[in-house]
Amino acid sequence: MEENGFVLVTGGAGFIGSHTCLDLLEKGYGIIVIDSFLNSYPKSLERVKQILRSKNLTFKDKIFIYQGSLKNKDFILRVFNESEKNGCRIDSVIHFAGLKSVKDSIKNPLNYYEENVLSTINLLYVMNLFACKIIVFSSSATIFKPFENKLINEECQIESINPYASTKIFIERILNDLHISDKKNWKIMNLRYFNPIGAHSSGALGESPKGLSHNLFPLIMECAIKKNFTLKIFGKNWPTKDGTCIRDYIHVMDLAEGHIKALEFLRKNEPTIINLNLGTGIGTSVVDLIKVFENTNKENLSFLFTDRRKGDLPFLVADNKYAKDLLNWTPLRSLEQMCKDGWNWKLKNPNGY
């Protein structure tokens, strides 16, 4: 690892970011974290250090944290400059930072274009200036056009169905143009996540949204912990086996490990740009997930069926063959493990960080 420079992790205090930072540090990488803490908590990174201490793993001079926004190009320049001066040259980036609520993006599109697209342009500009040309980008499965009940592979049609998805599509296009501008140097991987859920097995790290999440799994856990909370299931008349929407839930640690495999692939191979769908390839309906959660954690959930939610799709499951073959990566953790680990986090942190 010593021959490599430091990895800059933007949004490193977030849900997937913090789990990836832990995995990077456990694997001996040095990391620089940038986070605005707009949608995350510094405490997540304290918990990363706590887990490392519990494993007697040292992280001295291996993690440096900068609070600030990627909307401020001078701030990014300062981080790259200081890292270079301190002997922690940034040679690659895993870019998580960005807003991720579909619902909020419909209400505030300009905010999403500023926070997600403008910020990324600033980051890429500074990376280019410092000849740092390896980036793993946190993209999303919401960029895909519904494909009946078929698994979604990397060749499936892309269609921006909401501003959040559009920001991801635009950033992928920007990265493609950047690669074309300097094919001999840029190494780029776009990872399209399906539905990340769960938490680190210690229960010290997990998903801690600011305000109430709109996503199913955090709401299932909210319903389990607050007995007066009834979960709404958006639609029971979808064209699926039980009438509820089917998704591809993937354990956040499997996703974190996928990022490191992607980074290692880019470091070892010739300049390229690659899109990968990161999911389990297994479809789970809303009702299925509720049942697995109840049986795994011996909890009963109160729920009711309501109208469909605008913008929802009946079926969104990954064909993850390309990612598995290319990265020699495979999601290892079961839906039961996702439910067990997520609930362990929630019981230990009922109000998040």
Interface residues toward ligand WQD, by CB under 6 A: 100, 102, 140, 142, 193, 195, 214-216, 219, 232-234, 245, 247, 286, 309, 312, 316
**Shortest CB 218 distance to ligand WQD, Å:** 8
Residue 23, token pair as written in the block: 């995995």
Clarify whether 322 is annotated catalytic: no
Nearest alpha carbon to residue 138 among 19, 272, 247, 310: 19
Classify 3 as helix, strand or coil: coil
**Shortest CB 56 distance to ligand WQD, Å:** 35
With respect to ligand WQD, which residue has the nearer C-beta, 1 or 212?
212
Handedness of CA 82, 87, 92, 95 (dihedral sign): negative
Classify 141 as helix, strand or coil: helix
**Shortest CB 301 distance to ligand WQD, Å:** 11
Pairing status of strand 284-285 against strand 246-247: antiparallel
* 91: Cα separation from own chain's centroid: 21
Alpha helices in the chain (DSSP H): 15-26, 43-54, 73-85, 102-107, 109-112, 119-129, 163-181, 216-225, 252-268, 286-297, 321-327, 335-348
**Shortest CB 247 distance to ligand WQD, Å:** 5
With respect to ligand WQD, which residue has the nearer C-beta, 202 or 213?
213
- Can you tell me the distance from the alpha carbon of 128 to that of 143, in angstroms, rounded to the nearest whole number? 26
Q: Which residue is nearest to ligand WQD (CB)?
A: 245
Contact between 195 and 284 under an 8 Å Cβ cutoff? The reply is: no
Number of residues that make up the chain: 353
Calculate ∠ Cα 309-315-319, nearest 5°.
145
- Can you tell me the distance from the alpha carbon of 84 to that of 79, in angstroms, rounded to the nearest whole number? 9
- Which of 29, 66, 164, 193 is catalytic? The answer is 164
**Shortest CB 199 distance to ligand WQD, Å:** 15
With respect to ligand WQD, which residue has the nearer C-beta, 175 or 286?
286
Nearest alpha carbon to residue 250 among 136, 330, 183, 338: 338
**Shortest CB 307 distance to ligand WQD, Å:** 10
Residue 45, token pair as written in the block: 């990174």
**Shortest CB 316 distance to ligand WQD, Å:** 6
With respect to ligand WQD, which residue has the nearer C-beta, 29 or 112?
112
- Can you tell me the distance from the alpha carbon of 88 to that of 237, in angstroms, rounded to the nearest whole number? 55
With respect to ligand WQD, which residue has the nearer C-beta, 101 or 349?
101
With respect to ligand WQD, which residue has the nearer C-beta, 91 or 341?
341
Nearest alpha carbon to residue 10 among 113, 122, 163: 122
With respect to ligand WQD, which residue has the nearer C-beta, 285 or 297?
285
Q: What single-letter DSSP state applies at residue 353? A: -
Active site (catalytic) residues: 164
